[in-house]
Amino acid sequence: MGSELGVDPNSKEELNLSPVSIWWVCWTGIWTAVVALGMAYLIFHRNSTPLRLRGIGLSLSAVVLLHLYWITVQLGLLVGSTIPGNAEFWIMGTLLPCGIALFHASNSRFIHVANLQKRYTRPNSRLVGLPYGNTAFEPKGSRGLIDRFRRLDYTAKSLITVGFAMLFQIFLTALMYIVSRKWHSSWGIPGTEVHGTALEQKAEMGRGWEWWPGVFWQFFWSWIVAPVVLWKSRDIHDTQGWRVQTIGCAAASLHATPLWLIALYVPAMEAVNKYWLPPQWICLSIIFIQIFTVLLPCWEVFRYQSLRQETLDLIADWESKQKDGPDIKSLKSATATVESMMSGSVKTDSSDESVMTMPALEYVLDRDPASLQNFSALHDFSGENIAFLTSVAQWKGSLQDPSDLDDEEDIKEMLQERFNSALSIYVEFVSAHAEFPINLCFQDLAKLENVFEVPARIIYGDEPELNQIAPFDMPSFSRLPSAMSSHGSEKEIRVTASVLRDRVWYWGEVPEDFVSCGLGANVFDDAVKAVKYLVLTNTWPRFVRSRSTTCRLPFTTGCGFDVELARAQQVR
């Protein structure tokens, strides 16, 4: 039978400098350098669009823990007979399951984000958070620990759950170490001790039921959790490579635990174990996890930058042709091209410079924003940008002309109504209360905060300060329970949010900065320009390419978006 680090009774208690072990040392250095460079690249580009939603902090933490375990296995043939018999037990019992737990917490965020983004396909169901400190809408008896946990956001829930799972795993590892006499013959459960020479005892220490809790989480994630995640994501086709990552990591991890057990307990595998240690089967899945978690996002960032630069070049070419004055004929041609793209009647080349322009984007936002909204929410996971643009456009379109009012009280009431409507947009899309705050530069964000932040805090309360000692011990006036939680149905939450939008108004003095922006009508102009440019260089090129691709396929209706939208609306 095999042993965890390839130790057998014939091993010598010295470094194994065979060609095989030297090759594994070289491979360890090469792959460690590749992973380290990939992680550094992701950290450097952590604010880029493909990485902002991924939460790379969790995923990279998982990669570090798994890689530390991976290194010990790669060096197993070299140092296996020289290290203490219990060293690899503690390494496998802590680093491997804790790394898998963090990886699962990071990877499951994919489903959570996709489900939240689906709400942007139903504009009437978008939520504004419950005002902090307002307990009027909290059910009675909802101030216990369980209810407080339910009201935490998804990230906090995941970290708390994973933290308890990691502590439980460390407890199991310590319990296995205490009850087994393999590593301490004087105490423990009788019958679990090992006998023989020092190397015979070390070989027996490298296998047994004591090791099973350490690999349980890998088996649990690969054979139970991952298939559930894949089933839930079967209708999600994102442009960020997130679904590909999930499928790849799940498929590459199925073999690990079964082959590890076979290598340890099937005598015929002894010949293989001389060159390929039993835990190398687990390390093989770790390599694929690192490929899909580190290298694939690196490629996505590179592809995003290339597509963005290509779009900027097309915009520059188009603008250079228009610098002497707009060509009416070219503008009409661009409009016709966009219309044919949206209707699917003519195949559109995504490299057509007339399509990759701001007028083309604005034409779609004015005439058919629903198609772009559905694509950005269901595929690009950036539905908040289009929702913000359409909300501001609808708000500006509904503004009453102040010249129609003569009475000063009527003008004051109109201004108050304008401000409260704008405040609702700010809270839903810009402030810290937003589920997905839009990405604005510091100057634009500071301008809006200067106008709306104080009234927003009066209505919605201050963010509770984070307790540095117990960061998840949140006060009871947390925000409105997520639609994904078990604390009430989504329908009930939508009704509550609707009541809040209709009844909670700011009746204080309207800020002067709001009045100076054309009586508030122009307060969002800079933010709209910034978001439009962000959409033009990020979502719009992918939308055009996707539209062009799906329109070439037979039997597609509405260029393939009707099916995705119908599926998304089933979550009502």
Cβ neighbors of 393 (< 8 A, separation 6 or more) are 365, 366
Q: How far apart are CA 233 and CA 210, in angstroms?
A: 36
Give the distance from CA 84 to its chain's centroid: 40
CB-based burial label for 405 (10 Å; 0-12, 13-18, 19+): middle
The rounded distance, in Å, linking the Cα atoms of 519 and 514 is 6
Quick one: the chain helix, strand, coil %, rounded to 5? 65, 0, 35
Whole-number pLDDT of residue 405: 65
Residue keyed to tokens 């204080």: 508
Backbone angles phi, psi at 408, to 5 degrees: -65, -35
CB atoms within 10 A of CB 555: 5
**Tokens standing for 512?**
């002067």
Distance CA 125, CA 490 (A): 9
The rounded distance, in Å, linking the Cα atoms of 29 and 125 is: 52
Q: From CA 334, how far away is CA 330, in angstroms rounded? A: 6
SS3 assignment, position 22: helix
pTM: 0.78
Burial classification of residue 173, based on how many CB atoms lie within 10 Å of its CB (0-12 exposed, 13-18 middle, 19 or more buried): buried
pLDDT, tens digit (0-9, with 9 covering 90-100), for 201-211: 777 777 778 88
How many of the other CB atoms lie within 10 Å of CB of 191? 7
Least Cα distance to 123 among 294, 377, 504 occurs for: 377
Could you identify the residue written with the tokens 């906090």?
Answer: 156
Whole-angstrom Cα distance, residue 386 to residue 378? 12
Q: How far is CA 507 from CA 415, 417, 458, 461, 466, in A?
A: 11, 10, 10, 15, 30
Q: Exposure of 328 by Cβ count < 10 A (0-12 exposed, 13-18 middle, 19+ buried)?
A: exposed
Distance, in Å, from the CA atom of 2 to the CA atom of 77, rounded to the nearest integer, reads 13
pLDDT at 325: 58
How many Å apart are CA 142 and CA 488, to the nearest integer?
12
Identity at 111, one-letter amino acid code: I
pLDDT value of position 464? 38
**Integer angstrom CA distances of residue 191 from 86, 181, 182:** 18, 8, 10
Contact (CB, 8 A) for 118 and 571: yes
- Single-letter amino acid code for the residue at 129: G
Residue ranges of the domains in the chain? 19-122+143-303, 405-525
Flag residues of the chain having pLDDT under 70: 1-6, 8-11, 123-143, 322-354, 402-406, 461-504, 549-572
The tens digit of pLDDT for each residue in 411-422 reads 788 888 888 888
Q: Where are the beta strands (DSSP E) in 468-542?
A: none
Tokens in use for 329? 């004929």
CA 396/CA 34 separation, integer angstroms:
51
Amino acid at 208: G
CB 507 within 8 A of CB 416: yes
- Half-sphere exposure at residue 46, Cβ-oriented, CA atoms within 13 angstroms: 10
Q: How is residue 182 written in tokens?
A: 């393999």
- Token duo for residue 348: 């559109």
483 DSSP 8-state letter: T
pLDDT at residue 504, as a whole number: 67
